[in-house]
Structure 1
Amino acid sequence: MELICPIDQRCSDQITSLLRPPSVRFCTFIKTQEYFEQLISKRRCQGIKVKQNGEFGKGVFAETDFEEEELVFKDQMLVGAQHPSNKIDCLVCSYCFKFIGSIEQQIGRRFYLKTLGIGISSHNGCESNSSDEVEDNEFAYNHRSEQNGASSSSSSTIPLPTMAVESLMNGEMALPYSNKFPLPSIILCPGGCEEAFYCSKLCAEADWDSFHCLLCTGEKSESCSRDALLKFIQHANETNDIFLLAAKAISFTILRYRKFKASHLSKQENTASIILGTDPSLLLEAWKPISIGHKRRWWDCISLPDDIDASDEGTFRGQIRELAFTSLQLLKEAIFDKECEPCILSLSINAINIIGMFELNNLDLVVASPVEDYFLYIDDLPHSEKKEAEKITQPYLDALGEDYSICCQGTAFFPLQSCMNHSCCPNAKAFKREEDRDGQATIVALRPICKGEEVTISYIDEDLSFEERQALLADYGFRCRCPKCLDEEP
């Protein structure tokens, strides 16, 4: 039975207008170009330009020549979320995803949570841990191979005394040379929740104003129902944490609309008629950043898991649809805004289009761990200094085992990166360099790129066979016709 959201029926015209392609929705192609030009200027990405591509819609094009391995651009995320399971291993800023606290706190916190019965993730290094099990465009970074002492950590970990863990947590224990890896101090959530932490007051305020005030479970939360919000978060954690990303996008749009309306009203002399109703133009403006991503129904574009038989595909996609509907109902109760009803809390937009957009456009969020850098630094010390330092550090390394190098992992939507088209022989890739220590997207040239050439990345593993690549790309809604595919096509 097809699930129908009442808001879909009541606000069908408004929803349709919001889901039109940006070039139509913003009336003219020029306005769309102006939006991207302002975005590029704000991000200081002067070497690129977003232009219409007759075959694929939008595309990113080089405005200058790039050398191999040269940075093409960095893109700040619009919305992003750390995987819930990864929060056990990595304490990071909830806004920019930099590691925070200290080396001692990062290590001690993991041991402390383990003593509470919360296990440490079984994955190592920076392997992707995407909740939706779809091959996204992976962030990578210069992951140095484990050497000597660092590689000697055993998979069978050795427990630490409680006193040692407490000393790390409360700052009484200072590990040798940890001052070489200073981290920002921990700033608590202004709303009083125990889920969000920040590297600075600026990040805390930016997150509160952009997303978190509606999604905070603390006493100062501005959500309609904290109980409903807790149920929504629990549902997302138990089913698919991509719902959390969608909730951020919805909160972002609601809060932008409120700011635009407040600013608009302050400029009006007679505001009575405006106060009583919704201003569609302001809703469209608030929705604009989300509108740029290519959208499809979530349950249509999600890959069929390997353990689901093709004959059961219809049942599987029906279950996914029901998950989305349940998520919407919980979120609606938590942050419902009557004025934004037609564009924000519709099943068509939330469950189908926003989540489907993330399914098609998101990148893995990866930030390298300073704990790994710390132990590798100890391992690279001159022999006498290393031997002395390891008297203290080796028990902690042994206790961490092979999980000492876990990095921050999550998923995010980047407005400029989302405009990049696919090629099985790309000229660029998402790649974290040694100096890239936050949640921004970093696009690096794989080979020389000439001015005017389109900058492309691969959505999949381009080393797969022609048939495998085409099957995976079918989930994105197109058949690849890049030079490599044309050459290999039977």
Structure 2
Amino acid sequence: MASGLQTTMASPTETTTTTYFADLAAGKPIRYDMTASKGKALFATKSFVPGEPLFNEMPFVSMQHVPNQSLVQGCENCHVIVGSIEQQLAHVLHVEVGAVPPLPNQLVGKVPVNGKCTCACGAIYCSPTCRSAAWERYHCVLCTGHPDTPMHDFLQHAIDTNEIFLLAAQVLGRISVAYAKDQDMAAARRPVDMFCKLPWWEVVASEEDLEEGQSMDEYCGIFRHLLEETFALFMDGLRFNSAHLVLHEPHPDETSDFMSALHWENVVSDGVANGFLSVDFFANVVGMFEMNNISMEVRHPLSLLAERYEDSGDAEIAAWLDVVETQVRVQVKMHMDNDDDQDEDDDADEHEEEEDEDDDIMYPDLDGTALFSLVCTMNHSCEPNVAVCYESNGLATVVALAPIATGDELCIAYIETEQDVEARTHDLREYKFECQCPRCLRER
């Protein structure tokens, strides 16, 4: 058994945590510190004006929401929306490329085209570089290859039950690859150990969700049973894929020797002994996402194109944009209606609100979720002084919303803040704290 194994749910020391986040913040105008009331926090080391970027960060793990994939094709690695404008439009409209309104001659050659390539399993990437990068971080152990592999059963189960299981699998995949590479378990799981973690059921379970006569233990047991079933399927896939990697050392780039340096023989057995390959760890990772993940949005190139040319004064481009917008609006509305039909929790007020917003339906963004080591360290405020914006490659940029002075804590909004204090308090329950920001104190 390899050295460096540690206990199942090891908690890092304060010194280890401080060193880890100090290294991440190095070179950025921010500092990490612990506070008495909130724990982890980020602070500005210089002043900023509204609209000024503070720092940026790539996600530790991220994914495009599965339903959103029917409207937008994005790179699984960097989340660039792939293909030409015609291909992107065809995907939104669910038609062949030849059936979309032809691009005006004035736009031919002037519209950026992103590449597109695939893995054997069908995962989409913008380039062979991104395909290899994803393979070497986690995808090599998660690739379904073809529909008959055990990992495909896990994939389909996650899609059918809760897509957040796919993101949890990315985390376990990253730890597995890192351990196969360096045989250092503590280092492999350190980025995950730095996050606040509670079991999934402790995060999502609420007294108000209980059926009459149902105990909280019984209710949480439903979540645990689903997680046990999910984890068993994941482990079947991991064992199959890791054995395949030992025998074949596949890589999408045939010239790469990356896989030859990995040692897969003991990854599963050591992971089980260490505890990161366990139901409890998996539950904590899912709970970690519920408490720490950030919504990710990447603007659609069609939206950027319309914004660029809507006031161009060119009648042909204007007519093309009108036709395209009408067709896209219909398709996106159908997609939203299908989502509403599947969501039994929407109340009447929410439906009325959505009907009012029908006229605002435009080109679909790439919607997803991501976990960022630094961004997710920022605490919540109902009067946030920073917000997170996304570049076309999934890069998160933290931007000032208000004047920030040296030493100010950087706070984002975890929830929708355009609601009263009671609604905000309700929405923050899943984060296990009551907000004490100046706005909440004023409004209570």
Same fold (TM > 0.5): yes
Deviation at 1:291, TM superposition (A): 1.4
Q: Which residue does the alignment assign to 1:475?
A: 430
The letter of the residue matching 1:254 is S
Residue type at the aligned position of 1:89: L
Q: What is the alpha-carbon distance in structure 2 between the residues aligned to residue 426 and residue 437 of structure 1? A: 24
- Aligned equivalents of 2:327, 2:389: Cα separation in 1: 31
Structure 1 counterpart of 2:71, from 89, 95, 102: 89
Spell out, residue by residue over 1:100-131, the C-alpha distance to the aligned partner (whole angstroms, 9 max, x if none).
111011112333xx36xxxxxxxxxxxxxxxx
1:287 aligned residue (189, 199, 219): 189
Residue 114 (structure 2) aligns with: 184
Deviation at 1:339, TM superposition (A): 1.8
For residues 364 and 208 of structure 2, the distance between their equivalents in structure 1, rounded to whole angstroms, comes to 27
Counterpart CA distance in 1 for 2:234 and 2:430 is 27
Instruction: Identify which of 298, 311, 327 aligns with 1:367.
Output: 298
- Tell me the CA shift for residue 452 of structure 1: 1.3
1:345: which partner in 2? 277
Cα distance change on mapping 1:61 and 1:235 into 2, 3 Å: same
1:411-422 to structure 2, matched below 5 A, reads: 411-422=369-380
SS where residue 415 of structure 2 aligns?
Answer: coil
Cα offset, 1:366, TM superposition: 0.8
Q: Secondary structure at the match of 2:296?
A: strand
| Displacement after TM superposition at 1:375 (Å) | 3.4
Corresponding residue for residue 138 of structure 1: none
2:410 match: secondary structure:
strand
Conserved? CA contact 2:205–2:219, under 8 Å: no
> Does 1:202 pair with 2:157?
no
Quickly say closer, same or farther: Cα 1:488–1:214, change in 2 above 3 A.
Answer: same
Residue in structure 1 matching 2:388, options 414, 421, 430: 430
Name the counterpart of 1:323. 226
My pick for the range that moved more, 453-462 or 61-70, is 453-462
The amino acid that maps onto 1:49 is R
For each residue in 1:54-76, what CA deviation from the matched residue of structure 2 results, as whole angstroms up to 9, or x when unmatched?
22221111111111121122121
Shift in Å at residue 252 of structure 1?
0.3
Give the distance between the partners of 1:80 and 1:297, measured in 2 at CA.
20
State the match for 1:55 in structure 2. Answer: 37
Deviation of 1:484 after TM superposition, in Å, equals 2.6
Native 8 Å contact 1:168 1:174 kept in 2: no
Instruction: Assess if the C-alpha contact under 8 Å between 1:78 and 1:413 holds in 2.
Output: yes
Report the equivalent of 1:19. Answer: 9
Q: Which moved more, 1:294-303 or 1:409-418?
A: 294-303
Which 5+ residue runs of structure 2 have no aligned equivalent? 240-267, 333-361
| Aligned CA-pair RMSD | 2.6
Matched residues in 1 for 2:384 and 2:38: separation?
15
1:253 is aligned to 175
Matched with 2:439 is 484
Correspondent of 2:317 among 378, 389, 407: 389
Q: From the superposition, tell whether residues 380 and 19 of structure 1 become closer, same or farther in structure 2 (CA, over 3 Å).
A: same
- Whether the 8 Å contact between 2:205 and 2:220 is mirrored in structure 1 is no
1:393 is displaced (CA, Å) by 5.5
Q: Is the 8 A contact 1:209 1:255 kept in 2?
A: yes
State the TM-score, normalizing by the size of structure 2. 0.78
Moved more, 287-296 or 304-313: 304-313
Task: Supply the distance in 1 between the matched residues of 2:365 and 2:271 (Cα, whole angstroms).
Answer: 37
Take 1:401 and 1:487, find their aligned partners in 2: how far apart are those partners?
41
State the 1:181 CA deviation: 2.6
**SS state at 1:179 partner:** coil
CA distance in 1, matches of 2:71, 2:23: 37
After TM superposition, the structure 1 stretch with the greater mean CA deviation from structure 2, 309-318 or 323-332, is 309-318
AA in 1 matched with 2:87: Q
Of residues 63, 68, 80 in structure 2, which corresponds to 1:98?
A: 80
Report the CA distance between 1:343 and its aligned residue. Answer: 2.7
Once the two structures are superposed, the pairs formed by residues 51-130 of structure 1 within 5 Å of their partners are 51-111=33-93, 114=94
SS in 1 for 2:414: coil
CA separation of 1:333 and 1:343: change in aligned 2, threshold 3 A: same
Check if 1:237 corresponds to 2:163. no
1:309-320, aligned counterparts within 5 Å?
Answer: 314=216, 315-320=218-223
Does structure 1 conserve the Cα–Cα contact (< 8 Å) formed by 2:8 and 2:276? no
The 1-side partners of 2:379 and 2:12 are apart by 17
Aligned length: 379
CA contact (8 A) 1:236 1:327 kept: yes
Structure-2 change in CA distance of 1:201 and 1:467 (3 Å): same
Q: 1:393 to 1:482 in 2, by over 3 A?
A: closer
Q: What is the aligned partner in structure 2 of residue 452 from structure 1?
A: 407
Equivalent residues of 1:185, 1:199 under 8 A apart: yes
> 8 Å contact 1:91–1:100 — kept in the other structure?
yes
Corresponding position of 2:417: 462
Unaligned stretches of 5+ residues in structure 1? 1-13, 116-164, 220-224, 262-281
Amino acid at match of 2:78: C
Question: Cα distance, 1:469 vs. partner?
Answer: 2.6
Contact between 1:107 and 1:168, CA under 8 Å: does it hold in 2?
Answer: no
Whether the 8 Å CA contact 2:9–2:275 is kept in 1: the answer is no
